[in-house]
């Protein structure tokens, strides 16, 4: 009997089972293996994307990671039980001649045991190995069940993520566009109502990103459906409203402050994707763009000074945008992008205009 193989098998099985249970049944996010595997694959995919600028690759990574995660769990579980069944020479017998099974025979036996096929080509020898065979079959059954059960809420959350992104983009594609579209030459009109409606949506999706960190790796090729871009533009708009617009013109603090806090809570989920703040801070949106629309603003110097303390928050926004395969120019200002114009009435579908 090989105590080393037996111990190694049980250690590996414990690690994999812990990762599966943590990922699928807790709200702490993914397990150690799942998070590291997802982060590593995504990091390499974004490297390829930076060289080829191919959003098609990133768009398929979410599904690939879910499938890859399930395959990784299965392969590691198969390896663990194979080590256990290979630790004792007479653990598994060939059903035809009752001779000890070969190494490949034990690996084959493990495969059809954890997939609950039960073909009967090989048989466990004694009571203890019968019990372990039953345990391996139960392990495989729960592995498949938990993997499928994990898939459906993730798909639902991806849809919710795209819905929220389109909602945010409908307000404007960039920070200055959000503000200028809300301005009615007197105040910001019903923007308060949007802020109140968006706060619970952002909070809920933030919690789902914390529970399912793999959501960070579902990428959209359409800018209006890219949540990192929408969140960054929206948060920058709120920064301007709070620090770049005179207080008597600002939206109601009871609407603005909760929305900012919901975005801050969302940014904290980036730790589950192993994202750290960028080394540099993105440029502030030029207030001149608002003044050109007759929107009252503070001086550029005051805006710069009052936003110094939120530089880490803005570095996190930059990290979020870059990690999704975009550059800051995608939401910097209406001068650098027209991200949400595809939602306007003048947009063509095929050869027909929407209005």
43: left (phi over 0), alpha (psi -120 to 50) or beta: alpha
Quick one: 225 and 251 in the same domain?
Answer: yes
Nearest to 45 by CA among 28, 63, 33, 32: 63
Indicate if the alpha-carbon torsion angle 20, 24, 29, 34 is positive or negative: positive
Per residue in 268-302, pLDDT tens? 988 877 888 999 999 999 999 999 999 999 999 99
Per residue in 230-274, pLDDT tens? 999 999 999 999 999 999 999 999 999 999 999 999 999 888 778
Token look-up 């090729």 returns 221
Nearest to 13 by CA among 71, 62, 84, 64: 84
Nearest to 71 by CA among 153, 144, 179: 144
Last residue of a domain, one of 120, 148, 176: 148
Quick one: 305 and 221 in the same domain?
Answer: yes
Quick one: 254 and 172 in the same domain?
Answer: yes
* Better-scored residue on pLDDT, 5 or 2: 5
Quick one: 258 and 162 in the same domain?
Answer: yes
- Supply the range of the domain harboring residue 70: 3-148
Quick one: 158 and 78 in the same domain?
Answer: no
The rounded distance, in Å, linking the Cα atoms of 99 and 123 is 10
Quick one: 72 and 220 in the same domain?
Answer: no
The rounded distance, in Å, linking the Cα atoms of 29 and 267 is 15
% of the chain exceeding 90 in pLDDT: 62
Question: What is the structure's pLDDT at 310?
Answer: 94
pLDDT band at 53 (very low <50, low <70, confident <90, very high): confident
Last residue of a domain, one of 148, 163, 188: 148
Quick one: 116 and 237 in the same domain?
Answer: no
Last residue of a domain, one of 148, 177, 212: 148
The top-scoring range by mean pLDDT among 1-5, 96-100, 106-110, 295-299 is: 295-299
Please state whether beta strands 352-353 and 122-124 pair in parallel, antiparallel, or not at all (unpaired): unpaired
Beta pairing partners, 122: 94
Quick one: 144 and 162 in the same domain?
Answer: no
Q: Model pTM greater than 0.85?
A: yes
Indicate if the alpha-carbon torsion angle 268, 172, 243, 324 is positive or negative: positive
Whether 318 and 281 have beta carbons less than 8 Å apart is answered as yes
Whether 129 and 177 have beta carbons less than 8 Å apart is answered as no
53 φ, ψ (degrees, to nearest 5): 50, 55
Could you give the number of structural domains in the chain?
Answer: 2
Q: Which two tokens stand for residue 278?
A: 């960028």
Q: Which two tokens stand for residue 129?
A: 């190995």
**How many residues appear in the chain?**
355
**Cα 175 vs. chain centroid, distance in angstroms?**
23
By CB atoms closer than 10 A (0-12, 13-18, 19+), residue 15 is middle
Quick one: 55 and 176 in the same domain?
Answer: no
- Provide the b/e sequence for 329-342 (b: ≥16 CB within 10 Å): ebbbbbeebebbeb
Quick one: 95 and 202 in the same domain?
Answer: no
Quick one: 129 and 201 in the same domain?
Answer: no
Quick one: 142 and 162 in the same domain?
Answer: no
CATH number for the domain harbouring residue 47 = 1.10.287.70
């Amino acid at each position: 009997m090989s105590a080393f193989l037996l111990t190694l098998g049980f250690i590996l099985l414990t690690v994999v089972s812990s990762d599966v249970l943590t990922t699928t049944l807790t709200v702490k996010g993914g397990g150690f293996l799942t998070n590291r595997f997802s982060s590593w694959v995504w990091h390499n995919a974004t490297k390829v994307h930076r060289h080829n600028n191919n959003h098609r690759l990133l768009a398929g990574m979410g599904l690939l990671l879910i499938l890859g995660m399930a395959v990784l769990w299965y392969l590691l579980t198969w390896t663990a039980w194979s080590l256990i069944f290979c630790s004792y020479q007479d653990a598994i017998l060939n059903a035809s001649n009752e001779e000890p099974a070969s190494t490949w025979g034990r690996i084959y036996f493990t495969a059809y045991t954890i997939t609950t096929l039960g073909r009967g080509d090989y048989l466990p020898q004694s009571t203890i190995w019968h019990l372990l065979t039953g345990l391996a079959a139960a392990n495989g059954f729960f592995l498949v069940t938990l993997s499928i059960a994990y898939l459906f809420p993730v798909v639902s959350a991806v849809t919710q993520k795209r819905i929220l992104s389109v909602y945010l983009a409908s307000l404007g594609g960039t920070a200055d566009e959000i503000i200028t579209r809300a301005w009615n030459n007197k105040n910001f009109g019903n923007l308060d109502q949007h802020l109140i409606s968006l706060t619970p949506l952002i909070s809920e999706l933030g919690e789902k990103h914390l529970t399912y960190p793999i959501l960070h790796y579902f990428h959209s090729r359409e800018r209006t459906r890219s949540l990192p871009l929408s969140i960054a533009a929206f948060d920058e708009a709120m920064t301007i409203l709070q620090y770049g617009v005179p207080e008597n013109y600002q939206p109601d603090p009871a609407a603005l402050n909760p929305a900012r806090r919901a975005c801050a809570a969302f940014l904290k989920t980036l730790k589950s994707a192993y994202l750290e703040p960028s080394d540099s801070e993105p440029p502030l949106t030029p207030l001149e763009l608002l003044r050109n629309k007759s929107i009252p603003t503070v001086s550029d110097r005051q805006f710069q000074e009052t936003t110094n303390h939120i530089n880490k928050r803005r570095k996190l926004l930059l990290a979020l945008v870059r990690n999704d395969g975009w550059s800051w120019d995608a939401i910097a200002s209406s001068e650098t992008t027209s991200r949400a114009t595809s939602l306007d009435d003048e947009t063509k579908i095929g050869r027909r205009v929407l209005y």
